Amino acid sequence: MFKSIPFKSIFIVLFLFSTLIAIAQNAALKQFDSEFDQLDFNTRMAELKKFKPNELSIKDRALFEHLSGKTQYLNSSGVGAVEHFVKAKELYLQVKDFDKVAELLVTLAEQKSLSDYVYADYKPLLDEAIIYAEKSKNPDLLCKTYKQIGKSIYKLEPQKAINYFQKAISIAKKNNLYVHEIKINGNIGVTYFEVLNDLKKAHYYHNLSLELSKKHNHQEGIAYAFVNFAAIFRKEKNYEAAVKYYLMALELKFDNYRANVDLIVLGYISDTYKEMKNYEKAFEYLDKKKALEKELSDQQENKIIRDINTKYETQKKELENKTLKIKDQQNKMILYAFVGLFIIVVIVAYFRISNINKKKKIAEQEKFIETQKLENVLKDQELLEIDKMLEGQEKERLKLANDLHDNLGSILATLRLNFQNLYQQKVGINQEEQEMFAKTDDLIEEAYQKVRGMAHAKNAGVIGSEGLVPAVQNIAKKVAIPNKLKVQVIPFGMTKRLDNALEVTLFRMIQEILTNTIKHAEASEISISLTQDDDSINILIEDNGKGFNPKTIDKKEGMGLSNIEKKAEQLNGTFSIDSFEGKGTTIIIDIPI
């Protein structure tokens, strides 16, 4: 006969086995989370049914509710998602996962913005989210929050919304978050189209979104870009092109928000045919839209019935299982004992192998640290050379300005006085000679004024109490040409003075970019936006010129865009160029302060 197994041993084995099950569920949930964006709705629902929420830890249960809400939300069921999101938020608060709390706040705000709520109703959600996001400095979370704020205010304050969008794009580019970049370029395009009525810029940003979507084969982004292009064509009364792009959007394969997108696009096609006075086609697509609405409504009713049946079958099955569990419990305990012993053997083996691997990793890390130290020394030397070059350029600018003003300017002024004295002493000159004297006098005066202007331009730095904004406004005023070149400076939040050395560096960057634009871009409009936050300053320079390929820029000219980029990196900032030939240029500089 078998000896009786001590209760304490059985309890330990059961505990180990339940821990193993929890670990397995945790691993499966994390795997599901990592693959979530690549799955369709049906697969997501099937995966969710595999988990038992009551057997999960609080943190895992929060993730389960979060993924359940996202599944419903991305299937155009906002109402079904809210219940899960609220549960998830409470659970995340219990485990103090504030990044996830902030993400849910943004999602709930987005849900309200798509309903009948006004901005004031959900602004507190975004205010709370931005506090968490900026504190955690989570790039994905910052992008989502800035993007949603921009989407919420783009009709009320379009320029402020664009500034939030640009901040989000800067973070997305720096962290290779291309999906955010695709969506935000589309948001900027919609702002220019719907609010600012600038079709050219709307087309430019929608094209950026489309090109990036094609590069990453992001079908959803391509579809939204097609819909936005169709809206532009409708406004230009090019209805055939609009219908073509709407139909192209319907043919694309993607799962997120699919039902809503199809309903909206079918409605747009119907409206477009109505504008073309092709009422037969208009009614055809209106019928298609109504048929889809009925299909979705039937699916929702069937889902409710299935849920009721599932609950009934589950309860019935649970009663049957309870009876079987009582009979099988003793056999399971013996099985658990063997499983527990096996786990112990595996754990001991794992720790022995792990110690060997740790020693190997430590040796590799030490070697990597030495390599990094050497790279940092070389980089510091390179940045020091750039600082010396900038300092030398600044001194050379001042010297040249003083020489122009004090030497050549004085010579020209004296030359004019002598010339006028010579003219006054000459007696009996004819009409032709008088005209020649007058033209020569005008040329000397023009030369003097040009030398004086060059001296002022070279010495137009950030001096004393002027500050960065007045200095930029001053140089913009000097380079603008009436009816030919308009230069606009848009400050936002520039209420605090920066360190003078930083202001001089930023001014020289803007001056160099402005000079290159005037010399090469053939632009008629240049916009310089300066945005200051608590911890950063953002500079956005846009022109409507002929554009260029950033890979072909001349790195030896002037201060050099390459050196501007390195200087931005030295200041722990970012520097990026968006330009296509024939479609203008956008340069973004983002520097922490």
What CA–CA distances, in Å, run from 99 to 31, 68, 139, 297, 586? 20, 18, 11, 35, 32
Lookup: tokens for 13: 């084995």
Lookup: tokens for 4: 């009786």
Q: Do 526 and 517 meet the contact criterion of CB atoms below 8 Å apart?
A: yes
Per-residue pLDDT of the chain (593 residues), as tens digits, is: 444 445 445 445 445 555 555 677 778 888 888 888 788 888 888 888 888 888 788 888 888 888 888 888 777 666 677 788 888 888 888 888 878 888 888 888 887 777 767 888 888 888 888 888 888 888 988 898 899 889 889 998 999 999 999 999 999 999 999 999 999 999 999 999 999 999 999 999 999 999 999 999 999 999 999 999 999 999 999 999 999 999 999 999 888 778 888 889 999 999 999 999 998 998 999 899 888 888 877 665 455 445 544 544 555 555 555 556 556 665 666 666 667 777 776 776 676 777 777 777 887 777 777 666 655 554 555 555 555 665 666 566 666 666 665 567 667 767 777 777 777 777 677 888 778 878 888 888 777 776 765 655 555 444 545 789 998 998 888 888 888 889 999 999 888 888 888 888 899 899 889 888 888 888 999 999 999 988 899 999 999 999 988 877 655 444 578 888 888 998 999 999 998 888 899 999 999 98
Q: What's the fold here for domain 464-592?
A: Heat Shock Protein 90 (3.30.565)
Separation between Cα atoms, residue 506 and residue 575, nearest integer Å: 12
The residue extents of the domains of the chain are 322-456, 464-592
Q: What pTM, to 2 d.p., does this model score?
A: 0.47
The residue with tokens 């409710």 is 304
Separation between Cα atoms, residue 531 and residue 209, nearest integer Å: 24
Query: Which of 486, 78, 428, 421 minimizes the C-alpha distance to 257?
Result: 78
Bridge partners of 549? none
Query: Which of 124, 74, 65 minimizes the C-alpha distance to 95?
Result: 65
Q: Identify the three-state secondary structure at position 483.
A: coil
Separation between Cα atoms, residue 492 and residue 455, nearest integer Å: 30
Query: What's the Rg (C-alpha) of the chain?
Result: 34
Lookup: tokens for 495: 């209420």
| 3 state SS for 189-248 | HHHHHHCCCCHHHHHHHHHHHHHHHHHCCCHHHHHHHHHHHHHHHHHCCCHHHHHHHHHH
Bridge partners of 589? 539, 575
Give CA angle at 173 (138, 476), nearest 5°: 115
